[in-house]
A and B are shown apart, each in its own frame.
Chain A
């Protein structure tokens, strides 16, 4: 069961996940990252490094987040692979402070 990036990433996009993914399965667009479920090897290394806790195991998603399994699959197919860490989006730190409060 692969891991899934949820909408908590949207607007932050810290990309810490990208730097620790052993198989380059993170894809990226202007707002967030997505995991390619066919490449993910379930190592779970990305989960603890996400500053906002946006990444979850697919089978542990709460019901209102289950749609993100399909969104990850679809968007990963439509977007390029992220090759390395990028600067976070503007306002990411403020957003993170709100989320973690």
Chain B
């Protein structure tokens, strides 16, 4: 336990910036600020005790190489002027207004935390889930670890043709042996090992040339131990011929065409279905079936009717929206915090000192590195504006005294959590065994830092 007096004092005469959110866009914003050559100090506030956001809780456990990006975040955290306050949540523990009174500028890097509903009857039946909840569950997110998924169901429907849908399908399709040596949460590995899911439908509204799949991630379905990818263009050869909307969709289409000619021999199947619009979910107290309507064009050209898929699980993966924050204007149409180039705006006029970067700024698109360019743009605007701001009336040192926050996790404390996880994982052949409860994290952190 570190005494309160050890909280480092901020240097006088420097700009102080608060970043809310410890995911990729937050780290890249910190980097852009701390490497700007200006006199800037950065305090990063993260609602969980652990950093990295969706790199820890979104990137699939079987994509370990992508997670190496955390080494870059650790280097950013070592830059002079950076401080990390884990387990401090905006709105719950401290308001944006309170941060604003202590910092020259506040940058929201809070992401897009809310899954978009499909908006069909039956969506609230047990067995119908947001894909993002399943992802957070298998990745050991403390808020989602208690969720239950009925993996006794033999058929699962995933709605949406993006990379999150692929992640969900792949984790459902893999054998326990394929997952055992990843950093998947222990509770998820145990549940998935008993899974009876053998048919996974990936259903999209558009044609095969209009998916948002990355070809590289699609290609992984060709190499699964016990699951075949199935694409049936069947009576609709026009779909196979339809050109992609852009080069990435074109590359994905090429892989889908290749799947359509493969023999099917394995226990599990992952079936890609196109041109189907969600119509409703049916069931007697739980999900039994999902109905889709064909597009008008298909009804005309092929006389297609409604399609019913028997299933016990439905995962909706059609996009995400930023979670609204008190006092922060929201762009309902785009599902982001209203902004122009990362400057928060209300009714078209800029709110001084308030900024946004990452998915809360531009929506849930791009790869991890897309956030780098996004945060660089926001920070360029912050740096342009800073000379015009008055010094904030209060100081971060007073912030904790005025709130109910009594402890937090700093970066060295996160290092102890990290070491504990790696050690626990090493003992059982995993790169890490994630701690999934906040109290466990604090215990491994040595209690964290007292305020």
- Within the assembled complex, what's the spacing in Å between the Cα atoms of A56 and B216? 11
Q: Is there an interface contact between B376 and A20, defined as CB atoms closer than 8 Å? A: no
- Majority-rule SS of A interface residues: loop
Q: Is there an interface contact between B248 and A19, defined as CB atoms closer than 8 Å? A: no
Q: How far is the CB of A31 from chain B (nearest CB, A)?
A: 23
Q: Is there an interface contact between A45 and B369, defined as CB atoms closer than 8 Å? A: yes
- Within the assembled complex, what's the spacing in Å between the Cα atoms of A21 and B69? 10
Interface hits, A8-59 → B, CB 8 Å: 19-24, 41-46, 48, 53, 57
Q: Is there an interface contact between A19 and B372, defined as CB atoms closer than 8 Å? A: yes
* Residues from chain A with Cβ under 8 Å of B372 in the complex: 19-22
**For chains A and B in complex, what number of residue pairs have CB atoms within 8 angstroms?**
53
- Majority-rule SS of B interface residues: helix
* Residues from chain B with Cβ under 8 Å of A44 in the complex: 214, 216, 367
Is A84 among interface residues, defined by CB-CB distance under 8 A?
Answer: yes
CB nearest neighbor in A for B367: A45
Q: Is there an interface contact between A23 and B68, defined as CB atoms closer than 8 Å? A: yes
- Within the assembled complex, what's the spacing in Å between the Cα atoms of A19 and B370? 8
Report the interface size for chain A: residues with CB under 8 A from the other chain.
17
- Within the assembled complex, what's the spacing in Å between the Cα atoms of A53 and B247? 10
Q: Is there an interface contact between A41 and B66, defined as CB atoms closer than 8 Å? A: yes
Please encode chain B, from 233 to 249, with 1 for each CB lying within 8 Å of some chain A CB and 0 for all others.
00000000000001110
Q: How far is the CB of B368 from chain A (nearest CB, A)?
A: 4
Is B373 among interface residues, defined by CB-CB distance under 8 A?
Answer: yes
Interface hits, B366-406 → A, CB 8 Å: 366-373, 376
Q: Contacts A20-B372, A53-B247: A42 and B66 contacting too (C-beta < 8 A)?
A: yes
- Within the assembled complex, what's the spacing in Å between the Cα atoms of A93 and B214? 27
Q: Is there an interface contact between A45 and B366, defined as CB atoms closer than 8 Å? A: yes
Is B24 among interface residues, defined by CB-CB distance under 8 A?
Answer: yes
Is B72 among interface residues, defined by CB-CB distance under 8 A?
Answer: yes
* Residues from chain B with Cβ under 8 Å of A41 in the complex: 65-66, 68-69
Q: Is there an interface contact between B367 and A22, defined as CB atoms closer than 8 Å? A: yes
* Residues from chain B with Cβ under 8 Å of A23 in the complex: 68-69, 71-72, 369
Which of A20, A48, A85 touches B247 (beta carbons < 8 Å)? A48
Q: How far is the CB of A19 from chain B (nearest CB, A)?
A: 4
Please encode chain A, from 39 to 82, with 1 for each CB lying within 8 Å of some chain B CB and 0 for all others.
00111111010000100010000000000000000000000000
Q: Is there an interface contact between B367 and A43, defined as CB atoms closer than 8 Å? A: yes
* Residues from chain A with Cβ under 8 Å of B246 in the complex: 48
CB nearest neighbor in B for A50: B247
Q: Is there an interface contact between A22 and B69, defined as CB atoms closer than 8 Å? A: yes
Q: Contacts A22-B24, A23-B68: A48 and B248 contacting too (C-beta < 8 A)?
A: yes
* Residues from chain A with Cβ under 8 Å of B376 in the complex: 19, 84
- Within the assembled complex, what's the spacing in Å between the Cα atoms of A39 and B372? 16
- Within the assembled complex, what's the spacing in Å between the Cα atoms of A84 and B65? 23
Q: Is there an interface contact between A22 and B247, defined as CB atoms closer than 8 Å? A: no
Indicate the member of A20, A22, A41, A44 with the most B CB atoms within 10 Å: A22
- Within the assembled complex, what's the spacing in Å between the Cα atoms of A24 and B248? 23
Q: Contacts A43-B66, A48-B247: A57 and B216 contacting too (C-beta < 8 A)?
A: yes
Q: Is there an interface contact between A20 and B370, defined as CB atoms closer than 8 Å? A: yes
Q: How far is the CB of B265 from chain A (nearest CB, A)?
A: 24
- Within the assembled complex, what's the spacing in Å between the Cα atoms of A43 and B214? 10
Indicate the member of A21, A45, A84 with the most B CB atoms within 10 Å: A45
- Within the assembled complex, what's the spacing in Å between the Cα atoms of A46 and B214? 12
- Within the assembled complex, what's the spacing in Å between the Cα atoms of A19 and B366? 13
Q: Is there an interface contact between B72 and A22, defined as CB atoms closer than 8 Å? A: yes
Q: How far is the CB of A52 from chain B (nearest CB, A)?
A: 11
Interface hits, A85-99 → B, CB 8 Å: 85
Q: Contacts A19-B376, A22-B24, A53-B247: A45 and B69 contacting too (C-beta < 8 A)?
A: no
Q: How far is the CB of B249 from chain A (nearest CB, A)?
A: 10
Q: Is there an interface contact between B248 and A21, defined as CB atoms closer than 8 Å? A: no
- Within the assembled complex, what's the spacing in Å between the Cα atoms of A43 and B272? 23
- Within the assembled complex, what's the spacing in Å between the Cα atoms of A41 and B369? 11
Interface hits, B246-274 → A, CB 8 Å: 246-248
Indicate the member of A20, A41, A57 with the most B CB atoms within 10 Å: A41
Residues of A within 8 A of B (CB): 19-24, 41-46, 48, 53, 57, 84-85
Residues of B within 8 A of A (CB): 24, 65-66, 68-69, 71-72, 214, 216, 246-248, 366-373, 376
Question: Nearest 8 pairs between A and B by C-beta?
Answer: A45-B367, A22-B369, A20-B369, A22-B368, A19-B373, A45-B369, A41-B68, A22-B69
Identify 17 new A-B residue pairs, CB closer than 8 A, beyond the known A22-B368, A46-B369, A85-B373. A19-B372, A19-B376, A20-B366, A20-B370, A20-B372, A21-B369, A22-B72, A22-B372, A23-B68, A23-B71, A41-B65, A43-B66, A43-B69, A45-B366, A45-B367, A45-B368, A45-B369
Sampled A-B contacts (17; CB under 8 Å): A19-B373, A19-B376, A20-B373, A22-B24, A22-B368, A22-B369, A22-B371, A23-B68, A23-B369, A24-B72, A42-B65, A43-B368, A43-B369, A44-B216, A48-B247, A84-B376, A85-B373
